[in-house]
């Protein structure tokens, strides 16, 4: 018995539960990319809607995709979906108002 | 009945004829009927043509005028009329052309050509692109959508690859972990502490595993930090700047499991970076990273240590063997009893109290392949996990001798003193503000009291308290003066 105990390092009595690290005290641990991209996406989609710029709306769609790809699992999906929908609506509205194709900047 | 049938077309013809005859009457009649039309169609040209000799020549211009005025006034009708006229009177056109060749330019005095160069510069207006029936004009949009599809494809492929790598790692390490820990896999949410037996997915590229229930340690958190394969931007950025997947192991220890020392070993770059970033390495290991050649480890690795005795204690044969054979995979190994994470940059000056420390062993391993890893490569990391387990047991046994312990205690006291000195002014200010706030709160309470008697009594009590404090201070000052003398 004792030999078994000595060889087996496991101690069920010494179990500690997992505590997710507190990111408030250590903000450097968090990846800010999804939050930045979310904000950027919203800004671009508002620009696209207000100023009727098609390229702004397209960039907003890309930003929301990037934000989704980098997001954490714990993050609210509602926020993701809302930024998504906003950017897609920006694209659709730009084309409804002006069906002309986008002209390249060159 | 038959009469009616024959009569109808005749009637129609009769009705149609006057219209057509009226317009082209002048072609067949030499000018007899011009007088009839003087009032309406040719009224504007009365002064131009009064001479009967000019009548013949006048015929083409009036002929041209009525055809042109309808054009000027209403293009649609004119074109329709012309077409109708042309279908039925082709002979008339031929006759017209003969007559036009006999034009005298003076005939057109007073008639201003509104579109003189109509035939020379014919401007072809481009049909707006969105009205054209071609998808080619929308090539920018097609490009955008293609880009989005490429992003989605890459997301799916990257996510799957990361997931497969994580699973492969876990499968190869599962046995070792389950033989060493009572609890393998816990996300902290379930009521009972049972092993979930699987990785906890934090992200599409970060997987966690918490193991606990072992001698010599509180618990072990393993983080598989893969590259962001699911993000196309990151994939493109990595083409410029290659990076590799990392496995981070953080072992937290109880107080009795580790003696007081700070030690780190790893690649030179990593050591230089950690010395700047980490709070404890910065304070306790002030010297530059030393080469590990003295202990037999490759030149690529450097050592940061609180004192030489610690290095001697940690670098035993087995450890040296591990480090030598897996030097390329080791990014950093950090043992510390004063671990508090990276230095926190405070905006309002320095923190008012020492950061919390925890006895920790940190291991950071690089997965070989520089990003191009396959699930099979995960087996290569197994010896490193063996090294981790060995280190846990070793640290438990490693004890400094008396001299070392004294030195370590002195170091810690020194660090604490420095910290207190630096924050002295801040702490004083904080205490002052707290006192002022208390006074303000009291005054407010007094003001808010409606009963004047009670107000008076509270005010008196506050005054007495303040007087007492002043007296105490004066006593202290006197005592200090006496002592100084």
Choosing among A2, A17, A54, A103, which should be mutated to test the B contact, i.e. which has the most B CBs within 10 A?
A: A17
Q: Does residue B392 have a pLDDT over 50?
A: yes
pLDDT in tens, B315-339: 999 999 999 999 999 999 999 999 9
Q: What is the pLDDT of residue B46?
A: 63
Asked if residue A42 lies in contact with residue A86, where contact means CB atoms within 8 angstroms, the answer is yes
pLDDT-derived band at B59 (thresholds 50, 70, 90) equals very low
Question: A11 and B210 in contact by Cβ < 8 A?
Answer: no
| pLDDT of amino acid B66 | 45
8 Å CB contact of B215 and A11: yes
Closest CA of chain B from A6, distance in Å: 10
Question: Which two structure tokens, joined as six digits, stand for B468?
Answer: 């007492």
Tell me the C-alpha distance between B136 and B134, whole Å: 5
Give residue A47's region: left, alpha or beta (phi > 0; psi -120 to 50). Answer: alpha
Inter-residue contact B455 to B442 (CB < 8 Å):
no
A contact test, residue of B189, B212, B339, B358 with most A CBs within 10 A: B212
Q: Which residue has the higher pLDDT, B71 or A76?
A: A76
CA distance B140 to chain A (A): 6
Give the whole-number percent of chain B exceeding pLDDT 90: 45
Is pLDDT at B24 greater than 70 in this prediction? no
Cα separation, B322 vs B366, whole angstroms: 15
For chain A, give every domain's residue range: 12-97
pLDDT value at residue A61: 96
- CA distances to B118, B151, B201, B262 from B198, in Å: 82, 29, 9, 33
pLDDT in tens, B201-225: 998 999 999 999 999 899 999 999 9
Q: Is the pLDDT of residue B26 over 50?
A: no
Radius of gyration of chain B (CA): 51
pLDDT value at residue B48: 53
Span B280-300, average pLDDT: 88
From A66's Cα to the closest Cα of chain B, the distance in A is: 7
pLDDT digits (tens, 9 = 90+) for B188-198: 888 888 888 89
- Which has the higher per-residue pLDDT, B96 or A93? A93
- B-facing residues of A in 42-101 (CB < 8 A) are 58, 61-62, 65-66, 69-74, 99-101
Q: Which residue has the higher pLDDT, A33 or B73?
A: A33
Q: Is the predicted pLDDT of residue B60 greater than 60, yes or no?
A: no
The interface residues of chain B toward chain A in range 444-463, judged by CB-CB distance below 8 A, are none
Q: What is the mean pLDDT of residues B132-153?
A: 89
Query: Residue B325: what are its φ and ψ, rounded to 5°?
Result: -75, -20
The pLDDT score that the predictor gives to residue B47 is 62
Does B54 have pLDDT greater than 90? no
- Is pLDDT above 60 for B117? no
Terminal CA-to-CA distance of chain B, rounded, Å? 153
Question: Among B45-49, B66-70, B327-331, B383-387, where is mean pLDDT lowest?
Answer: B66-70
Residue closest to A58 by CA, chosen among B136, B233, B145, B129:
B145
Q: Does B417 have pLDDT greater than 60?
A: yes
Nearest to B282 by CA among B225, B224, B355: B355
Whether this model's pTM surpasses 0.80: no
B441 reaches A (C-beta below 8 A): no
Predicted pLDDT of residue B170: 95
| Cross-chain Cβ contact A65/B151 below 8 Å | yes
For residues B282 and B264, give the distance between their C-alpha atoms in angstroms, rounded to a whole number: 11
% of residues, chain B, pLDDT over 70: 74
Q: Is the pLDDT of residue B72 over 70?
A: no
Three-state secondary structure call for residue B152:
helix
Residue B36: pLDDT above 60?
no
Q: Which of B161, B175, B181 to mutate to test the interface with A (most CBs of A within 10 A)?
A: B181
Q: How many CB pairs under 8 A join A and B?
A: 101
Q: Which of A21-25, A46-50, B312-316 has the lowest mean pLDDT?
A: A21-25
Mean pLDDT for the stretch of residues B38-61: 54
Q: Answer whether B188 sits within 8 Å of A18, measured CB to CB.
A: yes
Give the up-direction half-sphere exposure of residue A8: CA atoms within 13 A in the CB hemisphere.
13
pLDDT level of residue B86 (50, 70, 90 thresholds): very low
Nearest to A101 among B137, B181, B231 (CB): B137
pLDDT above 50 (res B358): yes
Q: Decide if pLDDT at A1 tops 50.
A: no
**C-alpha closest to that of B35 among B55, B53, B18:** B55
Q: Which range has the worst mean pLDDT, B102-111, B203-212, B217-226, B402-411? A: B102-111
- Residue B25 above 50 pLDDT? no
The answer to whether A22 faces chain B, any CB pair under 8 Å, is no
- Name the residue ranges covered by the structural domains of chain B: 144-344+352-412, 449-484
> What pLDDT shows up at residue B79?
47
| Statement: residue B80 has pLDDT above 60 | no
In the predicted structure, residue B379 carries a pLDDT above the cut 50: yes
Nearby residues of B389 by Cβ (< 8 Å), 6 or more positions away: B176, B180
Q: Inform me whether the pLDDT recorded for B154 exceeds 90.
A: yes
Confidence of residue B366 (pLDDT cuts 50, 70, 90): very high
Residues A53-70 have a mean pLDDT of 94
pLDDT of res. B224:
95
| Residue-level pLDDT at B22 | 46
Contact B214 A102 (CB under 8 A): no
Q: Is residue B277 left, alpha or beta, with left meaning phi > 0 and alpha meaning psi from -120 to 50?
A: alpha
Residue A32, min C-alpha distance to chain B (Å)? 13
Over residues B245-279, the pLDDT tens digits come to 999 999 999 998 899 999 999 999 999 999 999 98
Confidence of residue B2 (pLDDT cuts 50, 70, 90): low
Return mean pLDDT, chain B. Answer: 81
Evaluate if residue B140 carries a pLDDT over 50: yes
């Amino acid at each position: 018995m004792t030999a078994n105990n000595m060889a087996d390092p496991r101690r069920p009595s010494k179990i500690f539960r997992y505590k997710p690290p507190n990111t408030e005290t250590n903000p450097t641990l968090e990846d800010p990319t999804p939050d930045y991209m979310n904000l950027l996406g919203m800004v671009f989609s508002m620009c696209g809607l207000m100023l009727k710029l098609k390229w702004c709306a397209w960039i907003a769609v890309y930003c929301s995709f990037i934000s989704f790809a980098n997001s954490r699992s714990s993050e609210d999906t509602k926020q993701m979906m809302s930024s998504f929908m906003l950017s897609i609506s920006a694209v659709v509205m730009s084309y409804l108002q002006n069906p002309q194709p986008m002209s390249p900047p060159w | 009945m038959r009469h009616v049938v024959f009569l109808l077309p005749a009637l129609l013809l009769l009705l149609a004829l006057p219209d057509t005859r009226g317009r082209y009457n002048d072609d067949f009649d030499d000018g007899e009927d011009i007088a009839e039309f003087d009032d309406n169609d040719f009224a504007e040209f009365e002064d131009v043509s009064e001479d009967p000799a000019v009548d013949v020549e006048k015929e083409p211009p009036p002929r041209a005028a009525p055809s042109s005025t309808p054009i000027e006034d209403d293009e649609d009708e004119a074109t329709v009329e012309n077409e109708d006229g042309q279908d039925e009177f082709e002979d008339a056109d031929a006759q017209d052309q003969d007559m036009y060749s006999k034009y005298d330019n003076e005939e057109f005095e007073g008639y201003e050509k509104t579109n003189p160069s109509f035939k020379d510069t014919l401007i072809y207006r481009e049909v707006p692109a969105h009205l054209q029936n071609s998808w080619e004009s929308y090539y920018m949009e097609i490009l955008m959508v293609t880009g989005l599809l490429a992003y989605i494809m890459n997301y799916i492929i990257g996510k799957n690859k990361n997931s497969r790598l994580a699973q492969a790692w876990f499968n190869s390490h599962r046995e070792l972990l389950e033989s060493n820990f009572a609890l393998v896999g816990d996300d902290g949410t379930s009521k009972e502490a049972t092993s979930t037996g699987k990785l906890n997915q934090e992200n599409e590229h970060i997987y966690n595993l918490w193991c606990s229930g072992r001698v010599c340690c509180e618990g072990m958190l393993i983080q598989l930090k893969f590259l962001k394969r699911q993000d196309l931007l990151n994939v493109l950025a990595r083409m410029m700047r290659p990076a590799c997947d990392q496995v981070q192991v953080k072992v937290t220890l109880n107080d009795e499991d580790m003696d007081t020392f700070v030690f780190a070993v790893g690649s030179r770059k990593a050591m230089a970076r950690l010395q700047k970033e980490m709070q404890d390495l910065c304070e306790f290991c002030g010297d530059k990273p030393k080469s590990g050649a003295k202990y037999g480890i490759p030149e690529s690795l450097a050592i940061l240590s609180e004192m030489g005795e610690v290095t001697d204690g940690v670098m035993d044969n087995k450890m040296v063997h591990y480090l030598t054979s897996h030097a390329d995979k080791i990014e950093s190994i950090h043992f510390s009893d004063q671990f508090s994470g990276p230095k926190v940059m405070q905006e309002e000056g320095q923190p008012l109290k020492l950061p919390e420390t925890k006895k920790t062993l940190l291991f950071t391993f690089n997965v070989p392949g520089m990003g191009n890893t396959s699930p099979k490569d995960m087996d290569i990391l197994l010896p490193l996990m063996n090294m981790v387990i060995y280190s846990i047991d070793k640290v438990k046994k490693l004890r400094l001798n008396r001299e070392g312990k004294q030195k370590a205690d002195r170091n810690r006291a020194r660090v604490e003193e420095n910290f207190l000195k630096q924050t002295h002014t801040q702490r004083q200010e904080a205490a002052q503000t707290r006192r002022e706030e208390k006074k303000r709160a009291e005054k407010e309470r007094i003001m808010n009291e409606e009963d004047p008697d009670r107000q008076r009594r509270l005010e008196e009590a506050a005054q007495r308290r303040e007087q007492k404090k002043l007296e105490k201070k004066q006593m202290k000052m006197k005592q200090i003066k006496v002592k100084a003398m």
